[in-house]
Structure formats: structure tokens, C-alpha cells
Structure 1
Amino acid sequence: MDRFFGFIIQHRIIVITVFICLAALCVFLMLGVGSNYDLSKYLPAGTESKEGMDILVSEVNYNGTALLMLENKTIVEVLDIKDKVAAIDGVEKVVWLDDIADLKQPVELIDEEVRNNYLVGNDALLQIVFTEEDDSARTYAALDAIRAELGEGAKLAGSAVDSYGLVSVTGDSMVRGILIALAICLVILLVTTESVMEVVLFLFNVGIAILLNLGTNIIFGEISFMTFASAAILQLAVSMDYSIFLLHRFSQERQTESNPTIAMVRAFKNTFGSIMSSGLTTVVGFLALIFMSYTIGADMGLVLAKGIVCSLICVLVLLPALAVMSAKAIDKTKHKRLLPSLKKVQRVLGGRVRYVVLAVMGIVCIIGYMAQSQNTYLYSANSTGNRQQIAIDREIDEKFGIRNNFIILVPRGNPEGEFEMAEKLSALDAVSSVQGIYAFVDPSTPLEIVPESLKDEFLSERYSRYIVEVTGSVESEVAFRAVEQIRHIVSESFGEGAYVTGATPVVYDVRSVTEGDFTLVTILSIAFVGFILLVTFRSITIPILLLFVIETSIWINTAVPYFTGTSMVFIGYMVISSVQLGATIDYAILMTSYYREGRQTMPKREASEYAVEKAGASIMLSALVFSAAGFVVANVFIQPAMAQLGTLIGRGALLSGFLSIFVLPQLLMLLDKIIDKTTLKTHLLKRRQAG
């Protein structure tokens, strides 16, 4: 280690230059990393809705769609607007009432059920079919052109609009989020550190690590929009610990050693174990996500774990070189730390009050565990969360009814089977309409005389497509029951060669796939982190104790939605269960390390005060930074899944920090004898001296 560190210090200019060059290269590599907004791609192979979507894209003319609501328009005005929209590049056709019924007759004579799908009073609803998919650049350009043509009168909704909105808000929100998070972190660091130069080193080091991570995402080709949006902010928040631990120890060592190089060597040796164990626990916590059947877990887990590795490399290689080179600047920019010492607080809590603290902790732990197990979940993460768009969607649903389309693909060559299937589907209570060749045409009709427009819309080389409109929103129980009923009917008629897909079937499959993932990710996270703690502390009791403290904070955190009556977005729960454990176990590790260090020469109560005095400021600082980053995500991202994940992270960091500072020391004292007996190579102060 001495030779390695000596090399870094001796060649610090070269080391810093290499990192800057690599970061600059990664800025260019970032431009080649794609973002995926289709979460169905992460369903495991063999999932019916995923296979159906793949066939739609590769074989069937799968066009993007949108709805356009026009208010207070005459029929003549609607038809004029319809023609203008149909003429826009990227629009294949526009469907309205005139395509279904003869408008030469009074509209009152048209079947009311049919009419109300397209015209209610003086408000009209048009369906726009694009020439390309929902997420195509050409489709996005067409949406812009429609808005430019119609101005404020364009109330657009539908899958293409949602996709475009998601793309628009994600990129803007990420940049804004990083800038706000950096600003907040800057303020927190200036208040809680002892030198302005230390703050510069913190941010420079973390910035280089983030660029390295974002650039090296090129190895994946593309990542999910959720990973793209959250990776940088989470890395900033999670990995700040390592820089804080090292520079705080460097500052402590310089109080007794004037030579910066020697002081850094001591700081490096004294914090290497804590930093590595903290980093490894975070990495394995993230890697637990790769075992999810729903592979967005692997997408997020690999990128976040790689980010921690980049941060560790920067802290252990780049930061020592920067700190030694900047030692004089650190001294010149020193100021009084405004963060209060917590030693006196622990002196009070460490007395008889600790039994009250632990009793309250036990009660809250039980309540939190029971409450979080009763949460309800949402499985769709594609909503933009844009308030204006939500209002438009709700207005269209209220006026024209909810439009939830299922897509059925069946092998061609069985007209009678298709006709029979369409009849059975139409008879379902949840089905409002069925569209397809043999929903419109008698099965005995030769295909040669079927209109080409109908064949182009519903037939491909191997498949016949049916569009089934279902009542109920995407994640309603009505729609989920319809998935089961429709799949049963389709399977009866065509066996395994047919597919049912669409928004609700995809969400239904996500729910089915992830039900086992909840337990799996939790168990693996605990097992992986527990193993690292076992090796680090060579103790049976300490890993159990630290895991209990952080898991309790997770239970409390995830119990809040239950008490507020809020449904959790499932991906937020999946991520927080591993992120909070992997990231905030650092706090417990640092507190325990200082407690054990103090117990070499002190009684347990004094050791607890020593641990809180030495570790409390670092933990509080780290928790504040992590929490600030989380709440920035919650308030900057209007996309619900990201906003909720940010809230969970922000609240979770504060809870973990609070329990690590104020509860963990009491547990360490309570279990001091057991820890001593279940830990290898302990050299604690003799108990008769400990008092």
C-alpha cells in the first residue's frame, strides 16, 4: 500500500492529468449512449406481451397513435382541421365520425354509442395514426407540427404524446436536477466542512467520477430513461461519503502531522478499510438488482454499481493526489465548522435514557415492518406526470370514455376461428369494441374482395391483428381481469401461437414477473451486504446489528406511503430497498468502526461518545447531501416514478443517518459483551475497567 500511495503522490500531476483526459473523453462517449423509454423491453424472454410487442414492431404495421380533442367546433370546422392534420408529414391518417357514418344525415340519427366515441355536443375527438412508431423522431416532429398548426386549440393525448412528453421532461429534468443538487451540496459542504478548498476537491472528484460513469455507459449501448435520469444524481449523493471520510481523516491527521504526504498516508491507511467496505456494500447492494426477472433492475444495478466503482477509484487514486497538492490552499481557506458537536447529545442518550430510546425504536420497528408489508403498488412507470397533460387526459376520459386498447395477434389462415374469437370477445362486459378483418367481414368472404385499406391495417405476412377496446384504466382491476379473460379466449381458439399485448397486458406481465423480485432483491441485498460486513468486522453480531438498524430505517421509510394512503411505484420500492441499504450502511460502518477504535482504550460509554464525536459530523453531512439529492429528484422530476423514488431516497437518508447517530451507539453499548464474544481478535478495554 505504501508503494502504491508513494507512486500516486510522486506522479500526482500525471495522475490528475490522466483523469481529466479520461473525463473529457467520456463527455464525447456520453453522446453515443441511447435512452430507452419502452419498459416492456425489460420483460423476460418468453413473456407474452413482450413477444407480441416484438412481433408488432418487426412484422406488423405498428403505427403510433394520438387523440386530438377539438372543443366548440362545427362539423365543417372539424372536417377542415382533420384534412389539415392529415396533410402533415408523419401523419398517415386521421379517423373521425365521417369514416364510420354518413354525415349527410343528421348526426342525431347516428347510433348514439358510435356517435359518442367521436362527438359529444360540440366537442369532437379525432384519432391520429402516424406513419411510424410512437417513439419515432418523425412522430415527434408531427406532434410539434400539429401543435404549431392548431395552437392552443390542440388538446392532444395518447401513447405518442406520452412518449414525447417523457423524452422531453427526462433530459431537461436531469440537467436541472444535477445543477440544483450541486448547488445544494455546495451550500451544505460550505457549512459543514472546515475549508472552502475541501469543498472544491469534493465536487471536482465526484464530478470526474460521474463523467467516467456516464461515458462508460457506452458499453451498454442504451440504458433505460430511469437509469439515465437518476444515475448521476444518485452517484453524487451516494459516493460523496468516501471523499468526506478521507478528507475528514486527512484533516484530523494534520493536527498532529505537519507533512501533508505523511498525514495523507496515515489518513489513507486509517480509512481504506472503511471506504472499501462501504464501497463494496454499496456495489453489492446495487448488484442485487441484476437478479430481478424484470431486467430494468439489471439496467439500473449495473450502471449504479459501475458508478460506485468509478467513485472508489477516484477517491483512492485521484483525491489523495489532489489533497496533497492542495494542502496549502486547504489551510488558507479554513473557516470555522458550523456543524455542532454531537458528543453532549450522546452523553445524555448514553445514560438511562438509552433504554427509552431502544424501547421506542423497538415499537417503531414493529409498526414500520407491519405497515410496509401492506403497501399497494403501481407497475407502470411511463406516465410523464405533467399536470397539464394529466388534466387533458382526464377531460377526454370524462367526455368520451376511457380508451384502453389491447392488441391481439393470431396466425393467419383460420377465418372461422378469428370470427368466433371476435364474437366471444365482443360478448365480454369489459370490451366496448373489437376491430379486425373478421370483426367486420364474414369469414366466408374471399380476401381478394376485401378492401385493401382494411387488409393493410389488420394483416401482415403471418399475422392477423385485432384491436380490442377495454373499459377501465391501464392499471384498473377491470382491465387486469380483462387480460385474463381475453387471453383465455385467444388461447382456446389459437393456442400458443397467438399473443395479447398492449399497455395493460404489459403492466399485467410486469406485475406477475416482479412479485417474486421483491423478496429476492431484499434477501440478496441483505446476504451480500452481510457477507461484506462479516469479512470486514470478523464478527457475527456486528453485521446483524448494522443490518437491523438500516433495515429498520427502510421499513419506516416504506411504511409512510401506507399511512398516507399512497400507492408506491414498484420500481421505486425495488430500488430503494437495495439503494438505501447499500448506500447508508456506510453510516453504520463508520460509527461502529469508531466505537471499536474507542473501545481499545475506553469504557463503552466513553467509546460511544468518542464514536459520535468522530463519526457524527461525517454521517450528518453525508445524510444531508444524500437527502438533498433525493428531494431534488422528487421536486425536479414530474415523472411520478422518478419523483417518488426521490422522495424515498431523501427520507431514507435522513432516517438512516438519524438511527446511525442516535440509536446505533445505544445498541452497541447494550450488546457490547455479546459483540466481544462473537468477534475475532478483539482487544477491548477490560470489563472491570469499563465500568
Structure 2
Amino acid sequence: MKKRIYILIFIGVISLVSAFLIPQVKTNYDLTKYLPKDSSTIQGLNVLEDEFGIHSYVEMQVNDISVDQVLIIKSQILNIEHVEKVIWLDDYVDLTLVPIAFIDDAVLSNFYVDNSALLQISIDLNNYDVVIEDVIDHIRSVASDYEYAFRGEAIKNIENRVIADQEVLKILLLIIPIVILILLIASKSWIEPVILLISLGIAVVLNLGTNIFLPDVSYITKTMALALQLALSLDYGLFLVHRYYEERETTESPSVAVKNAFKRSFPAITASALTTIAGFLSILFMKYTIGFDIGIVLSKGILLSYLTTLIVTPILILLMYKLIDKTKHKPLIHSSKKYIPFLMKLKYPLFILFIVLTVGSVVLSNKTDYIYGNNTSFGPDRQITLDENMITDTFGSYQQIVILIPNGDVLKEVALATQLANNTNITSVQTLVTTVDPSIPRDFIPDDVKAQFIGQNYTRFIIYTTVREESELLYQFQDELVDIVSSQYDDYYMVGMHQATANIKDLITSDTLMITFASMIAIFIILLITFRSFVIPIILVLLIQSAIWMNLSVLYLQGVSTIYIGYLVVMAIQLGATIDYAVLMTNRYVNYRKSFEPFEAIDKSYQKSFITIMISASVLAAAGFIEGGFSNISSVQEIGFLLGKGTLISFIYILLFLPVLLILLDKFLYFKHKKIKQKN
């Protein structure tokens, strides 16, 4: 007993250290960081930084303000640290000479409409630099006497940081009560949920704390990791605790019961953990390395949950077995004894239905539309959304793209500027030849004007387009840009959302087959080793893969697009995690099949595994729907809903089709069964 106490004390100490380290873990909000170093987006960003330094651009609308007051605010903003320049109407028109009424509306409408001014603020910091929030706060204080609104990537990143910091606690407060409720409803002892949550809580804290050894984690991973680890690994403890109850029915000794429960549940727990880890390991090798970020954090979490289940849970059972016995109660949920007999009457129609659904879902899943970029959206009531709408209503909306072309050929620059300006999706082209008469020798142009557009080796074009959202039009427009620029230059770079989205699409679609086959093969091998049967892994992998295809088919039938990275993550989770439920029932069936006929074996397997499967699936589905329903990060919302639906579909498939498949394919599961004693 002393050894067990020492083990718990040691684990408690490292858990406290991990808890202290959690706030120190760095969070990354820049998804372009996960692009390969040789991608055109990263190369373009590096050239842009080398030639023109680091910049971020923020737009600020100020309402009910006169021209003179705008100029005062502009000068005050220019005095704020890190603010490089503030562009407004006076940079294009001499307001001391030209009255507002005489300014060309094409120019005026970009800066001053109905007594509302739009200032374009350049800051010498990266869009993702945390210091930029202080700069924005200073700008807010300058305009505190006016109604104002902000728009820009830096503003979105600030909002993402605020939301991500709030999300973890919010999701935790929502999911823990639901997990406890589900465990209480399905438990056989009131103390059972306490044991499971202590063991899992230790694993979660260890996982979040050990992220300190990573350079950083993405904000998407940060907001999902806690809930997913909790939901994905809950069944390991359930396998062990529920097996303990069975062993206590045959022995009075708690230590013997725990020992036997450990021994008999170990294969199922290990297979379940390994299949889940295999699902995540498959996304480690994505070229778009956010897969590595998500995969390493969640696979590490599953491994830690597996270890705490095997080490901590048995100790807690032995320490609390008296409390377990005292607080025993009849389960509030029972498996139906009529279910399997009813199912067996329909086994042939159900088998045909499974084949039809599998084939149909394969066809429909290939028609699902995906979103590849980072189209971050926020709740309609959040200030960032209200600000965005205000500026869009007054001045319209656009997306900025930077094009870098080699220095030196003015005629080519004029030709390129003309071609770009003629494109119907481009509202403005800013470069040296559009700012200053190209016939003026460049030696006569002021250095500060040239510095805005001319670097050491490259000239900068800044174009503004109305194509802002990811769609077929975006990809068509991106192709048009490539055609226009490549008609003049062989050496060029593009930087912006359009180019990054196109890069991400090319990368992650090329990863799909690798991820799918890697996860399926890894899980197949694990199941092959676990069951020592070639047919069982085929049945289980096909069953869950069919559920995945059905999950995607539902999206197509709903006419809904989903983020592609979310599809890859959920595919890995659904295949690697929900297959655990099938493993549990199949493991029971294989054991019972040694002593019983197929019908009796599957009936007993269902009776013994239903509650565990139901609890685990309910918690994982609840975690998904909570993430989807309450997260303020659009990508996390989509992953959550997709996971919740996928878990329910897998749960239904396992209860509906797995017993049928095991019965109908029984003689193929193993080359021979042990002789079964026939009952009179």
C-alpha cells in the first residue's frame, strides 16, 4: 500500500508542476506558419520582409468628424510608438488649396463619406505580434471622444487571442457537468465518476503542461485539446472499472479483482489507445504542418491518458473500494435483452442496407464542398463583427494583395499596372507608376515616396480586390492574377489571403490519400496483432470508414461546406477513436465465442459492452456539440459539429451493423473455433 501512496504522491507533484507550466505555453495564431518553407507564400513573405520590413495595416473609421479634426487625430496617431504612417485624404489632395466639395468623388469616397473618415494605419509590427494590441489601445484612447471602428488582420488576431483564452475555461465549465451527469446515469457506484475524472484530470493537466516542450501550439489545438482528450480517452477507465465490477462478482478480494480486471481489460484498452494514437499520428506527416501540431498534442494526450488509466485508476479503486461498495446502486440505464434477437431477425436486410449505405456514402462524400483557407468569422454580436459591418457599409469591403516584381523596367510596370486596373475584380492599384507620373526620372522622385514601393531588388504593387471570401471566384481570380503577372515577369511573388489559400488547398489535398491510407493501415496492423485475425480488422475498419463517409455525405445533403483541415482531423478522430467501441464489442464476442454459439456470444457481448459504448460515445458526441455550439472560433465550431455527428453515426453503425457482420462472417473470423459445448 505504501508503494501505491508514493506513486500517487509522485504523480501529484508532477501534475502540480504541469499545472504551473500551462500558462507559460505559447500560442500561435498565424496559420501561414504551418506552410512549408519552400511554398510561394512563405517565400513571398520572406522577400517582402527583407525588402520593405515588417508591417501590418489597420483601418480605422471615425464618425461625425470634421476634416480639421481628422488631421488632428492623424497627427496624434503618428506620435504613437510603432505607428509608421497614417494615410488619409490629405496624402492625395492638398486640403489647404482644394475644398472638399471640389475633390473627385472617386478619391474622396475612399477616405471621407458623410462626415465619416477612414484612416489607413501602417504599424511596424507583424500582424501576430502581441505588442500590436497595446498600439491599438493607444489609438483607441486618441479617438475616445468619437465613435470609431477598426478593421484588419491584426484586429482579427487580437480577437482570436481573446477568444482562445476564454474558450478553454468556458468549454471546461460546460463539458465537465455533462460528463459527470452521463457517468452518474450509467454508473454502478456514485464514486465511479470521481475515480474516472481524477485519473483523466491528471492526464489532461500533464498533457497541457508538457506542451511547454513544444515551440508553441496553434490556437485551434489549444481550444480543442482539453475537451477532446477528456472525451476520447474516457473509455479506457470505463473498460477497467466495469471489468472490475464483473471480477468482484467472482471474488471477495478487491486486489485480486483489480488484478484480474487489469489483465482482462488490458488488450482492449491497449488496442483502443493505439488505434486512437495511430489516427493522430497519420496527420503528423502532413505537409501543412498544423497536422503535426494537432497530432502531437492529442496523441501525447491519449498516451498520457492510457498510462494514468493503467497506473492511477487501479490504485484509486483499491484506495476507494469500500466507498465503491457502499455507494453501489442499480444502473439507471440497462441494455435491452430483446435487442439482439430483434436484430438477428433482420440480419440479411441490415447486411444489404450496410452495403447500400457504404456505396452510396462513398459517392456522395466525394461531392462535398470544402473550404481550404482561414476564413475566420466571429459571432454577429461581437464588437469586431459590428465594426467590420460599419466600415463595409460606409466604405465597402476589399482584400489587399501584394505583388513583388523585379526592379528596373518602368514600361513593364506601367503595362502590369494597366492590366491589373482593367480587371473587374480589382478596385485599386497602388505602386510607384500609379502614384507618380512614370515619365518623371526616378532620381527626381522623393526618397520617402520611392521607399513605399521600391526595395533593394523588388518593386511592390499593392492591389485591392472585392473578392474576399473563399469561393470558386477566388480561385478563378487567383488564376487570372497569375496569368496577368506571368505575362510580364517570370520572377515574381504574391502575398495575401488568395495566394495562401491556394497554397493550403494544394498542400492538404495532396495529403489526403496519405493520411487516409496511413491511418487505415496502422489501425489495421494494430487490430491484426490484437485479434490475430485477418478478417476482423477488415470488418472494423470498413465499418467505421463507412460511418465517416456517411458523416461527409450528410454535409453534402445539407448543402453545407466545411473546412478541409477539419475534415482531416475529424476523420483521424472518428476512425481512431470510435473504432474503440467496435473493438470492445468484438473483443467480448471473440472471448464468448470460445464457449458459446454465435447468437449467444453476440447477445452476451452486447449486454456487457452496451453501457460502456453508450457512455463513451455520449461524452465524445457531447464534447463535439459543445465545441460546435459554444465556441466563438469558426474553425473549431465546424470541427465540433462534424465530430459530434460523426460520433453518433459511428455509434449507430456499431449497434446496428457490427452484430450482424460478426454473425454472418463468423466462420471467416478465425480459421477454426474451439469446440463449443452444445446445450440441450
TM over 0.5: yes
Match of 2:625 in 1: 631
Match of 1:431 in 2: 426
* Contact 1:603 1:690 (C-alpha < 8 Å) held by counterparts: no
Q: In structure 2, do the counterparts of structure 1 residues 56 and 474 end up closer, same or farther at CA, with 3 Å as the change threshold?
A: farther
Q: Does residue 1:542 correspond to 2:512, yes or no?
A: no
Match of 1:410 in 2: 405
* Contact 1:196 1:333 (C-alpha < 8 Å) held by counterparts: yes
String of CA shifts for 1:106-135, please: whole Å, max 9, x gaps.
Answer: 434333322222233344322222232222
* Contact 1:85 1:91 (C-alpha < 8 Å) held by counterparts: yes
| Aligned residue type for 2:134 | A
* Contact 2:375 2:469 (C-alpha < 8 Å) held by counterparts: no
Greater mean alpha carbon deviation, residues 643-652 or residues 383-392: 383-392
Q: Does residue 1:263 correspond to 2:254, yes or no?
A: no
SS at match of 2:594: coil
| Aligned residue type for 1:138 | V
SS at match of 1:126: strand
Q: Does residue 1:311 correspond to 2:290, yes or no?
A: no
String of CA shifts for 1:595-628, please: whole Å, max 9, x gaps.
Answer: 1112112121111110110000000000011111
Counterpart CA distance in 1 for 2:390 and 2:512 is 36
Match of 1:570 in 2: 564
2:609 to 593, 607, 615: 615
Counterpart CA distance in 1 for 2:659 and 2:49 is 57
Give ranges in structure 1 of 5+ residues lacking alignment.
Answer: 1-8
* Contact 2:370 2:563 (C-alpha < 8 Å) held by counterparts: yes
Counterpart CA distance in 1 for 2:512 and 2:340 is 37
2:271 to 277, 302, 305: 277
Cα distance, 1:62 vs structure 2? 2.8
SS at match of 1:334: coil
Cα distance, 1:29 vs structure 2? 2.8
Match of 1:354 in 2: 347
Match of 1:6 in 2: none
String of CA shifts for 1:257-294, please: whole Å, max 9, x gaps.
Answer: 12111111111110111111111111111011022221
Percent sequence identity is 35
Q: In structure 2, do the counterparts of structure 1 residues 476 and 554 end up closer, same or farther at CA, with 3 Å as the change threshold?
A: closer
Q: Does residue 1:45 correspond to 2:30, yes or no?
A: no
* Contact 1:281 1:585 (C-alpha < 8 Å) held by counterparts: yes
Q: Does residue 1:683 correspond to 2:677, yes or no?
A: no
SS at match of 1:44: coil
Q: In structure 2, do the counterparts of structure 1 residues 149 and 260 end up closer, same or farther at CA, with 3 Å as the change threshold?
A: farther
Q: Does residue 1:299 correspond to 2:293, yes or no?
A: yes
* Contact 2:508 2:565 (C-alpha < 8 Å) held by counterparts: no
Counterpart CA distance in 1 for 2:468 and 2:194 is 50
SS at match of 1:31: helix
Counterpart CA distance in 2 for 1:624 and 1:212 is 25
String of CA shifts for 1:484-515, please: whole Å, max 9, x gaps.
Answer: 2333443444434x311111110111112122
* Contact 1:404 1:474 (C-alpha < 8 Å) held by counterparts: no
Match of 1:386 in 2: 379
Greater mean alpha carbon deviation, residues 396-405 or residues 612-621: 396-405
SS at match of 2:117: strand
Counterpart CA distance in 1 for 2:423 and 2:590 is 67
String of CA shifts for 1:534-557, please: whole Å, max 9, x gaps.
Answer: 111111211111112111221222
Counterpart CA distance in 2 for 1:370 and 1:186 is 40
- Equivalent residues in 2 for 1:95-494 (5 A)? 95-103=87-95, 104-150=97-143, 153-350=147-344, 352-381=345-374, 383-387=376-380, 388=382, 389-442=384-437, 445-494=440-489
SS at match of 1:454: helix
- Equivalent residues in 2 for 1:61-72 (5 A)? 61-72=53-64
SS at match of 1:137: coil
Match of 1:21 in 2: 13
Give ranges in structure 2 of 5+ residues lacking alignment.
Answer: none
Cα distance, 1:255 vs structure 2? 1.6
Greater mean alpha carbon deviation, residues 96-105 or residues 251-260: 96-105
Cα distance, 1:329 vs structure 2? 2.0
Counterpart CA distance in 1 for 2:360 and 2:101 is 60
* Contact 2:61 2:148 (C-alpha < 8 Å) held by counterparts: yes
Counterpart CA distance in 2 for 1:297 and 1:554 is 19
Cα distance, 1:468 vs structure 2? 1.3
Counterpart CA distance in 2 for 1:379 and 1:118 is 33
Match of 1:30 in 2: 22
Cα distance, 1:673 vs structure 2? 1.7
Match of 2:48 in 1: 56
Cα distance, 1:591 vs structure 2? 0.6
Greater mean alpha carbon deviation, residues 234-243 or residues 76-85: 76-85
Q: In structure 2, do the counterparts of structure 1 residues 511 and 545 end up closer, same or farther at CA, with 3 Å as the change threshold?
A: same
Greater mean alpha carbon deviation, residues 164-173 or residues 509-518: 509-518
| Aligned residue type for 1:546 | L
Cα distance, 1:85 vs structure 2? 4.1
Cα distance, 1:105 vs structure 2? 3.3
SS at match of 2:403: strand
| Aligned residue type for 2:496 | G
Greater mean alpha carbon deviation, residues 386-395 or residues 222-231: 386-395
* Contact 2:149 2:390 (C-alpha < 8 Å) held by counterparts: no
* Contact 1:195 1:335 (C-alpha < 8 Å) held by counterparts: yes
Q: In structure 2, do the counterparts of structure 1 residues 329 and 604 end up closer, same or farther at CA, with 3 Å as the change threshold?
A: same
Greater mean alpha carbon deviation, residues 235-244 or residues 217-226: 217-226
Greater mean alpha carbon deviation, residues 563-572 or residues 110-119: 110-119
Q: In structure 2, do the counterparts of structure 1 residues 273 and 90 end up closer, same or farther at CA, with 3 Å as the change threshold?
A: same
* Contact 1:238 1:626 (C-alpha < 8 Å) held by counterparts: yes
String of CA shifts for 1:395-439, please: whole Å, max 9, x gaps.
Answer: 433442321111122344444443443333233332222212333
Greater mean alpha carbon deviation, residues 473-482 or residues 169-178: 473-482
CA-based RMSD of the aligned residues comes to 2.3
| Aligned residue type for 1:368 | S
| Aligned residue type for 1:11 | K
